[in-house]
Structure 1
Amino acid sequence: MSFDQARAVRAILPKVTEAIDAMESVSDDAVEEYGRAIITDLVREHVDGRALAGQSVPNLDQERSLAEAVFNQVFRMGRLQELVNDPTVENIDVNGCDQVWITYTDGRKELGAPIADSDDELVEDVRRWAAYQGQTARDFSIARPRLHLSLGSNTRMGALMGVVPRPCLSIRSHGKLNADLDDLIANGTIDKGLREFLSAAVRAHKDIVITGGMGDGKTTFARALAAEIDPDERVATIEKEYELFLHLQKDRHRDVLAMEAREGNTEGLGAITLHHLIEDALRFNARRIIVGEVRGDELIPMLQAMNTGGNGSICTLHADSADQVFARMLILAGSGGLNIATDTLFRTIGMAVDFVVHLGHDLRHNLDGPVNRRYVAQINEVLPPGDTVEPAVNRVYVPGPEGRAIPNTIPQCIDELVAVGFDPALFAGHAWQGGPR
């Protein structure tokens, strides 16, 4: 009978989790180190037991592979870890243990191998990942059937059970954690003129709202804009689950207050919302505030932060076009239970936001296969309301023939941009100024 690694993992796993749960006075940073030592011992014990029983035993390479598989099952993402480590994988969508859809960065979509032997095993895996990973342990049960968690420095996971026929996962891998504007030129998101404009806007402490749809690259774009911030400026990042990871880029951001929201317990107590964290960020002397995504009642404190102590702040927001952003903010204010008059909200937006940068995304097919394009489609300068209730806008960049942003008009704040080094001659052209398409 040949050696079955999957069966061996199932046999060793309960002993590993029991030993780790029994550990006392071990710091979070040391848990993995101790866990790996425990796994090595238990794997050796398992192999010796098979040998004494006259059963087939793994060779040295198989034994190492078994230890790594157990380690991944506890501290990483089990059978999914190989996919998570693959830089060409962008999304993994799981509709039950044996329905694993993989979307690659080039737009390909394929059905992958099962990631567990049963749906019950998959649920147990998710619970274990939630217990050992992330800043705060999070429950996943019939009482709490929704789970959102940051796993490591480049992976975000959402999970559902009970409210769906089979347990479901959605895993997003962030490609470049150290992305900057030069990287966005290289992949065709912006051209040289846009790079200089965006860099100047950040250096001039302009407040920027990044909009786009799902998968348009808003988080990567925010990370690239943040790369233009002076390394010694105090920055607060505020997120539902960590995705920006500026606090891990010590060479680029030396003073970062990274804040992650926390869900309440089953009684709804102990929750820490984005709203709370934005208010805290100002009290902790943050010069700039970057909100991973504005989704509800954190909208007003974010605008207030932009309008007062957080000049040069950045946030992302889901919107289908740059021209829909004000209506979208009005909807968010209502969904968050905010009791604020429409004209008051729009005046606040007009005074707080300087630019809306809208991202586009399309998937094209050519002879070489699919081509996944992400690009800046439009940039609006936001101004206080004039003849209408909504804020006035100055369409600085508009979509060109291929949808990519091209210069349209000079912003009212041009003198401030010139003061930090921007060359207004870059507005002279009305075409995409080089770079991949």
Structure 2
Amino acid sequence: MSDHDGVDPTSLPLFAPGTASLNAAARFAAPPSIGFTPAPPVPLAASDRAGAGRVDWALLAELRGAAAKRLSTALEDHGRLSAMEQREMGRTIIQELLTDESQERAVSGRDAWSMPDREAMAQALDNALFGLGRLQPLIDDDTVENIQIAGADRVAVERTNGHLEDVDPVADDDEELIDFLVFLASRSEVNARPFSEAQPRLHMRLDGGARLAASAWVTRRPSVVIRRHRLREVALADLVERGSFTPVVASFLAAAIRAKKSIVVAGEQGAGKTTLVRALCSELDPDEAIGTFETEYELHLDELPRTRHRFVYAWEARPGSGEVGADGRQAGEITLSDLLYDSFRFNLSRQIVGEVRGGEIVAMVKAMQSGAGSISTTHARNAQSVMSKLVTCALEAGESREWAVSALSESLDIIVQASMRDVIDDDGQKRRVRWVSEILAVSPGEDWSRPATTTIFSTIPGTQTLVPGVMPDDLREELIPFGFDADAYYAAAGEAS
């Protein structure tokens, strides 16, 4: 049994009054005697989602404790159960407790629960025992794309239509929010993450695939961003339909993937880089064996239908903990470079290294040097600054500038810049729009210290219109056999001039 198999249900999180003064260790301690596996969250009842049901959080704290104790006893009696069996048992206990509470209300002459209120209490109890507490309704809401938290009472969401909206607090105070994050980081059975004053940064994947980034102790208030990727099974044609780029651009990108060109997708935070990578991967032959290498699972190519990708091996780096060894690494640390090294025995057609923020640059270059055509993402304000950003990452990883420039010039073929901006609709609502704003070709320059770049597509200033620039002859001839519509490219160039 793993270190995280024995989680005491009485310790599971509930954003409820009266618990914030307890520290995370006391609130979320886990004795090893009970096998407990959190199950995937279930959708909210319609009444709660619509706001008709009210939750008494103080009462919920009492009922949660009683439900957890009963569930602990039941699990001891029944032995190890599946996640679904545990959740069904928990729901039965929740209904028993709510029935008891309803009877006590009747005897004492208190107001009876309405059905929406009872449903809301039942769902909130279920979330407290098995899910993400007050965060769960936001995670379950299909219209929520991203969640931003700057303190327990400063919470906003970005909807799938691009609108930004403030929502209710997710905890009663910052201490309670921090305690929950500590628990959340430690409860994973396969890849627990440290989060404490000694390690105040947290990056992890939540059940269902959302990505969480959090900071505390080094920020004035606990800060959290949860990124949800609603567009998983997405193709280049879907992004054309959404207005991200034109069919001519889609023709170029599809041909580049099929021709095994190595691509870096760059952009600001939240510009849609990961969605674009998924769309690019849709152009891969379904029979290609793909390896993905990420610090936190985010691409989820392995979870798509086999008709899209038949063989996907998904690797995730593991942070170390404890003392640093003689090699300068913490015990248990597994880096992307370690994983990439192992992957060369897996007969892969493609090695895709996810987000590059620093040391991941070494794994990215190795994947691109394999010659199979890799894809990665990084953060940069424009396409021209991508090379400088990647060189900086290499320097942070302990590599020399000479190595970085030479390796990137020889292995990186194309830079795709994703951009976003906020616009105000006619009704006064703010909406976020995303599009591909620039595409560059990269090649070794005459001066070894500076690679050569050619602007293949650029955006007309003040618009989201991407127009052709200059197409290198050798690149054009390479891509035409793979479906690049050169005639449409030059026709569009003529219209733009």
**TM-score bucket (shorter structure):** 0.7 to 0.9
SS, match of residue 196 in structure 2: coil
Aligned alpha-carbon RMSD (Å):
2.9
Matched-pair contact (CA < 8 Å) for 1:192–1:433? no
CA distance in 1, matches of 2:357, 2:128: 33
Amino acid of the residue matched to residue 382 of structure 2?
S
Mapping for residues 12-27 of structure 1, pairs under 5 Å: 12-15=63-66, 19=71, 26=80
Change (3 A) 1:237 1:33: farther
Following superposition, the deviation at residue 84 of structure 1 comes to: 2.4
CA distance in 1, matches of 2:447, 2:150: 50
Pick the aligned partner of 2:83 from 7, 26, 31.
Answer: 31
Mapping for residues 76-115 of structure 1, pairs under 5 Å: 76-115=131-170
| Match of residue 415 from structure 2 | 356
Change (3 A) 1:40 1:171: same
Change (3 A) 1:34 1:391: same
Matched-pair contact (CA < 8 Å) for 1:405–1:432? no
| Match of residue 31 from structure 2 | none
SS, match of residue 220 in structure 1: helix
SS, match of residue 218 in structure 2: coil
| Match of residue 190 from structure 1 | 245
Q: Does 1:407 align with 2:468?
A: yes
1:399-422 residue CA offsets vs partner (Å, 9 max, x unmatched): 224254311122322222111222
Change (3 A) 1:261 1:17: farther
Give aligned-pair identity as a percent: 34
CA distance in 2, matches of 1:71, 1:134: 20
Mapping for residues 22-421 of structure 1, pairs under 5 Å: 26=80, 30-45=82-97, 47-48=99-100, 51-52=103-104, 54=107, 58=113, 62-132=117-187, 135-250=190-305, 251-267=307-323, 268-308=330-370, 311-338=372-399, 340=400, 342-369=401-428, 370-387=430-447, 389-401=449-461, 402-411=463-472, 412-421=474-483
SS, match of residue 320 in structure 2: coil
CA distance in 2, matches of 1:3, 1:415: 65
CA distance in 2, matches of 1:41, 1:15: 9
Matched-pair contact (CA < 8 Å) for 1:343–1:390? no
Pick the aligned partner of 1:423 from 475, 481, 485.
Answer: 485
SS, match of residue 317 in structure 1: strand
Amino acid of the residue matched to residue 365 of structure 1?
I
Matched-pair contact (CA < 8 Å) for 2:55–2:117? no
CA distance in 1, matches of 2:183, 2:68: 9
Amino acid of the residue matched to residue 299 of structure 1?
I
Change (3 A) 1:35 1:116: same
Amino acid of the residue matched to residue 356 of structure 2?
V
Change (3 A) 1:170 1:41: same
CA distance in 1, matches of 2:312, 2:94: 40
Matched-pair contact (CA < 8 Å) for 2:361–2:393? yes
Count residues in correspondence.
428
CA distance in 1, matches of 2:136, 2:188: 14
SS, match of residue 355 in structure 2: coil
Matched-pair contact (CA < 8 Å) for 1:189–1:374? yes
CA distance in 2, matches of 1:17, 1:409: 65
CA distance in 1, matches of 2:269, 2:304: 25
Amino acid of the residue matched to residue 300 of structure 2?
F
Amino acid of the residue matched to residue 383 of structure 1?
S
Matched-pair contact (CA < 8 Å) for 1:378–1:404? no
Following superposition, the deviation at residue 215 of structure 1 comes to: 1.3
Following superposition, the deviation at residue 393 of structure 1 comes to: 1.7
SS, match of residue 213 in structure 2: strand
Following superposition, the deviation at residue 314 of structure 1 comes to: 0.5
Following superposition, the deviation at residue 366 of structure 1 comes to: 4.2
Following superposition, the deviation at residue 101 of structure 1 comes to: 2.3
SS, match of residue 393 in structure 1: strand
SS, match of residue 90 in structure 1: strand
Q: Could you tell which deviates more after superposition, 197-206 or 16-25?
A: 16-25
| Match of residue 23 from structure 2 | none
Change (3 A) 1:376 1:327: same
CA distance in 1, matches of 2:303, 2:210: 14
CA distance in 1, matches of 2:264, 2:55: 52
Following superposition, the deviation at residue 374 of structure 1 comes to: 1.2
1:133-192 residue CA offsets vs partner (Å, 9 max, x unmatched): 584233333343322221133421122232234332221222211121111111111111
CA distance in 1, matches of 2:156, 2:115: 33
Matched-pair contact (CA < 8 Å) for 1:74–1:132? no
Q: Which runs of 5+ in 2 are unaligned?
A: 1-52, 324-329
Change (3 A) 1:314 1:432: farther
Q: Which runs of 5+ in 1 are unaligned?
A: none
Amino acid of the residue matched to residue 62 of structure 2?
A
Q: Could you tell which deviates more after superposition, 103-112 or 16-25?
A: 16-25
Change (3 A) 1:149 1:280: same
CA distance in 1, matches of 2:189, 2:148: 20
Following superposition, the deviation at residue 313 of structure 1 comes to: 1.1
Following superposition, the deviation at residue 294 of structure 1 comes to: 1.0
Change (3 A) 1:93 1:269: same
Change (3 A) 1:13 1:286: farther
| Match of residue 11 from structure 1 | 62
| Match of residue 34 from structure 2 | none
Matched-pair contact (CA < 8 Å) for 1:240–1:262? yes
1:19-43 residue CA offsets vs partner (Å, 9 max, x unmatched): 469669747xx32541342243144
CA distance in 2, matches of 1:196, 1:368: 36
Amino acid of the residue matched to residue 485 of structure 2?
D
- TM-score in terms of structure 1 length: 0.88
1:334-354 residue CA offsets vs partner (Å, 9 max, x unmatched): 11222x2x3332221122111
CA distance in 2, matches of 1:60, 1:201: 57
Change (3 A) 1:431 1:20: farther
- TM-score in terms of structure 2 length: 0.78
Matched-pair contact (CA < 8 Å) for 2:405–2:448? no
